[in-house]
Structure 1
Amino acid sequence: MPQPSIRPDVVVLFTDVDWHGHLDDPTRPYHRDGRPFTLAEHRLLITVTPEEEAAGLAQLRREADWLREIDAKRQVFADLLLKYFAMLPEGSVAPDAVAIMTDEDYAEYERLLPIVTAEDTLEYLAEHAQD
């Protein structure tokens, strides 16, 4: 039995569906950024195969995992700063906390800073993930 081929463009389109609906027209599919699907996109979307849907769902699960990982890193980063803010007078700012960090904590701060401040943290994590 031949292996069904997966169309990457359909998988990408499937992963971009806003599954929570849209108030303007709940019967029409919308992209996650709020744009309605074009007629051509809608026609392509309804041709999704079970294999393409499975690939899209796997990608969405990976994205959710990455987001949870980023949220955890953000929490570690915040906890790290808060540990030092507790030692400083009220009104202190982040550079004050960084100035009194141990070398070990400063290294962790430097490692986390580009991740938690990246404009697109998923993209940063995908490009810089450590195995």
Structure 2
Amino acid sequence: MPSSSVRPEVGDEEDDLDLARHEDPSRCYHLDGHPFTTAEHQLLSTMTPAEIAAAKAQMRLEDEWERELDAMKDAFVELLMKYFARLPKGSVVSNAVAIMTDEDRTEYERLVKIVTAQDTLEYLAEHGEN
């Protein structure tokens, strides 16, 4: 097996880096909101060009997954709304599913697993769009 040019500890820190947090621009923050320690910050400052390229590639992939996931969520809502439009006010999802065509029910069953997963990106990575 070829060796990776990305150190696992750097990859772990990069995966937990919250790029949207800006309380203190001189600090890096974890996704859970706590700041990186001095040692963690120093480790990130030693990233090699290969590690930076790998991090960028991963971010692009995650952005692509987010766009695909958003499209699936939109399709899921559109599918349900198509049937809710035919039902009386106060109806629930099971009422809509009960009147779906076989084709739409199959699509509903595919999408519901994805859009209701606790971690949808992880779900897609593990299961694809089966």
TM-score (norm 1): 0.89
Distance 1:126 1:63 in 2: 10
Q: Identify the range of structure 1 (14-23 vs 97-106) with the bigger mean alpha-carbon deviation.
A: 14-23
Structure 1 residue ranges (4+ consecutive) displaced by more than 6 angstroms after TM superposition: none
Distance 2:82 2:129 in 1: 26
The AA in structure 1 aligned to 2:13 is L
1:11 offset after TM fit, Å? 2.6
Q: 1:119 to 1:21 in 2, by over 3 A?
A: closer
Equivalences for 1:96-111 in 2 at 5 Å?
Answer: 96-111=95-110
Report the equivalent of 1:113. Answer: 112
Alignment identity in percent? Answer: 59
5+ residue gaps, structure 1: none
Q: Is the 8 A contact 1:15 1:57 kept in 2?
A: no
* Residue 50 (structure 1) aligned with residue 49 (structure 2): yes
Report the equivalent of 1:13. Answer: 13
Q: Is the 8 A contact 1:12 1:56 kept in 2?
A: no
Report the equivalent of 1:37. Answer: 36
Q: Secondary structure at the match of 1:88?
A: coil
1:35 offset after TM fit, Å? 1.4
5+ residue gaps, structure 2: none
1:105 offset after TM fit, Å? 0.5
- Alignment length, in residue pairs? 128
1:58 offset after TM fit, Å? 0.3
Q: Is the 8 A contact 2:28 2:36 kept in 1?
A: yes
Distance 1:112 1:18 in 2: 28
Q: Secondary structure at the match of 1:36?
A: coil
The AA in structure 2 aligned to 1:6 is V
TM-score (norm 2): 0.89
Report the equivalent of 2:123. Answer: 124
Q: Is the 8 A contact 1:67 1:122 kept in 2?
A: yes
Distance 2:21 2:115 in 1: 29
Report the equivalent of 1:27. Answer: 26
Distance 2:112 2:91 in 1: 19
Q: Deviations over 1:41-91 (max 9, x none)?
A: 111011001110010010011011111111111111110000000111111
Distance 2:125 2:68 in 1: 11
Q: Secondary structure at the match of 2:105?
A: helix
Q: Is the 8 A contact 1:11 1:53 kept in 2?
A: no
